[in-house]
């Protein structure tokens, strides 16, 4: 039996825009808060893993150097939107293997404004208009609407729901409710997605201390990471071409299967979920791929308000990325911290009643998907 | 004015897209590469692709994306070719109400921008091949 892994402490820097404040300064705040929460300092952890995409060379080292906490192995992890989940998985393995008693896992990011630009795309592809992130999101939304009963109103309601939840999250970038009419009437970025149906890339940091645990507390039951298989032209690996016979399971489905097996539980056991909602359609696609609703059932789930805060399976009670914004390297750990609070009954006005099992999910370019399962 | 392609190896001087077919798994991919992105075969053969296809999914891009050098708005979608592959492609029609799934499309080589040396840089796109 491998060692159990528990969360010993958490720390978060709000997600938003913070002017000239450096990404290192944000990371320092989150890490200090997590170490204080866990009641440890130098010598209290034996390895550190830092998720980030845009922070450059040895970004995690800069944070720990500023705090005089270097000396342990520090690994910087880039896995697109799943960077924080990938870092968490490495931390969990370091404890399960018996090599570490405690590890520090953190994510940091300071994203450029506007449509995300990524070195993933060759310059000619950008120049030719073939590297348009929201257009890929829109095509996936179109496919979802073609293949199921999902409507524009359903897409808009995802944004309404998440912004209503985000009002109660002090760490979210946007804390204002929107009406269905406002979301539908906002500027069309790429049909059917309006500007209020898309998340904003932004800045922030999140840190978690993991420790070996025999029982009690909030446990990490699974931290799975999977990449895409070749096939789909609309895969998160944003290929130039794909196959017409697209029956290939997407990376989120692969990661979910692995996580459910690792945790020994199924999607029917999940009480609360934080899933990738870079756009409104993405949340619905995520729910289907994670088995949180039947394939083709996301429209019904949203129409019946099943994923509302008061519903049977609340999705994105934090407000999701639509409210929080997305600092890539920090977003998965931001989800984990929200779920930790939910499982401890510390989520205030956005608390899900009696949550015992929780799921976090990210997926992004490359493509990697991470699925984290926690329980108390 | 001298015309140059946006990138070497994407299409022929005559304006045909260059794909590649894997003799091992018999699948086509684009852009052409000797390595197969589906089965890891290493002997893919470059060949011209059909200039006609069918529209699968589409949207319009209304704001200038980072690095893009052409005109906005423009269309963006997935076109299926008879060889058995689906391409991500720019579309000449930016208004989604003038497009529909299953529409016949044809390949066009179109001007993208004029570079610093005064050359016309051209790229590929798909245009509706029928009245909507």
CA distance linking residue A98 with residue A88, whole number of Å:
16
Residues of A with CB below 8 A from B7's CB?
A: 122, 124, 128
> What tokens appear for A204 in the block?
């922030």
Residues of A in Cβ contact (< 8 Å) with B19: 241
B75, B59 Cβ separation under 8 angstroms:
yes
Query: Is A124 within 8 Å of B6 when comparing Cβ atoms?
Result: yes
8 A C-beta contact, residue A207 and residue A8: no
Q: Which of A3-7, A86-90, A249-253, B116-120 has the lowest mean pLDDT?
A: A3-7
Tell me which residue of A141, A191, A186 sits closest to A163, measured CA to CA. A186
Q: Give the position of tokens 């791929």.
A: A289
Place of tokens 């949207």: B59
Is A214's pLDDT higher than 90?
Answer: no
In tens, the pLDDT along B8-32 reads 999 999 999 999 999 999 999 999 9
- Nearest-angstrom CA–CA distance, A161 and B33: 45
- What one-character-per-residue DSSP string does A304-371 give? TTTTSTTSSS-B-TT-HHHHH-B-HHHHHHHHHHHHHHHHHT--GGGPPTT--EEEEEEEETTTEEEE
Residue A32: band (very low, low, confident or very high) from pLDDT cuts 50, 70, 90 = very high
Nearest CA in chain A to B69: A127
Q: Is the pLDDT of residue A1 over 60?
A: no
Longest CA span, chain A: 55
Which pLDDT value is given to residue B130? 75
Give the model confidence (pLDDT) of A8-28 as tens digits: 999 999 999 999 999 999 999
In 3D space, the residue among B72, B69, B71 whose CA is nearest the CA of residue B61 turns out to be B72
Measured distance CA(A298)–CA(A286) in Å, rounded = 9
Give A2's pLDDT tier (boundaries 50, 70, 90). low
Token duo for residue A21 = 């404040």
Q: Which residues pair with B125 in a beta bridge?
A: B108
CA of A7 vs chain B CAs: smallest distance (Å):
40
3-class DSSP assignment, residue A267: helix
The structure's pTM equals 0.97
């Amino acid at each position: 039996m491998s060692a159990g892994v528990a969360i010993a402490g958490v720390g978060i820097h709000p997600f938003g825009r913070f002017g000239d404040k450096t990404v290192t300064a944000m990371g320092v705040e989150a890490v200090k808060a997590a170490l204080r929460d866990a009641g440890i300092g130098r010598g209290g952890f034996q390895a550190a893993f830092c998720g980030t995409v845009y922070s450059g060379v040895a970004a995690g080292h800069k944070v720990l150097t500023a705090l005089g906490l270097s000396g342990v192995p520090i690994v910087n992890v880039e896995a697109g939107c799943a960077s924080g989940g990938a870092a968490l998985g490495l931390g969990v393995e370091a404890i399960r293997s018996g090599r570490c008693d405690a590890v520090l896992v953190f994510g940091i990011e300071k994203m450029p404004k506007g449509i995300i630009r990524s070195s993933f795309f060759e310059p000619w592809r950008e120049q030719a208009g073939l590297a348009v992130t929201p257009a890929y999101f829109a095509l996936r939304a179109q496919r979802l609407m073609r293949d199921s009963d999902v409507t524009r109103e359903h897409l808009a309601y995802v944004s309404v729901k998440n912004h209503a939840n985000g009002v109660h999250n002090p760490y979210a970038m946007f804390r204002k409710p929107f009406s269905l009419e406002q979301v539908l009437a906002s500027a069309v970025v790429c049909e059917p997605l309006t500007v209020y149906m898309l998340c904003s890339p932004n800045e922030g940091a999140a840190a978690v201390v993991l420790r070996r645990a025999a029982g009690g507390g909030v446990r990490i039951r699974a931290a799975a990471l999977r990449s895409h298989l070749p096939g789909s032209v609309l895969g998160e690996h944003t290929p130039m071409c794909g196959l017409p016979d697209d029956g290939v399971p997407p990376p989120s489905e692969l990661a979910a299967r692995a996580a459910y097996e690792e945790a020994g539980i199924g999607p029917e056991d999940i009480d609360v979920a934080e899933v990738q909602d870079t756009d409104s359609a993405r949340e619905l696609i995520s729910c289907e791929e994670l088995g949180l609703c039947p394939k083709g059932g996301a429209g019904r789930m949203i129409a019946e308000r099943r994923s509302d805060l008061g519903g049977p399976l609340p999705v994105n009670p934090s407000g999701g990325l639509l409210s929080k914004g997305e600092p890539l390297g920090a977003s998965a750990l931001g989800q984990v911290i929200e779920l930790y609070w939910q499982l401890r009954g510390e989520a205030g006005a956005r608390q899900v009643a009696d949550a015992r099992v929780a799921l976090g999910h990210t997926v992004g370019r490359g493509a990697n998907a991470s699925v984290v399962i926690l329980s108390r | 004015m001298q015309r140059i392609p946006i990138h070497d190896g994407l299409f022929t001087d005559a304006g045909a897209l260059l794909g590649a077919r894997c003799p091992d798994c018999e699948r086509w991919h684009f852009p052409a590469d000797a390595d197969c992105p589906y089965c890891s075969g290493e002997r893919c053969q470059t060949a011209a692709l059909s200039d006609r296809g069918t529209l699968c999914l589409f949207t319009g891009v209304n704001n200038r994306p980072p690095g893009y050098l052409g005109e906005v708005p423009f269309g963006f979608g997935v076109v299926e070719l008879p060889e058995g592959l689906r391409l991500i492609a720019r579309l000449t029609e930016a208004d989604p109400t003038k497009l529909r799934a299953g529409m016949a499309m044809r390949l066009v080589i179109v001007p993208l921008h004029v570079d610093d040396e005064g050359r016309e840089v051209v790229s590929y796109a798909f245009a509706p091949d029928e009245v909507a």
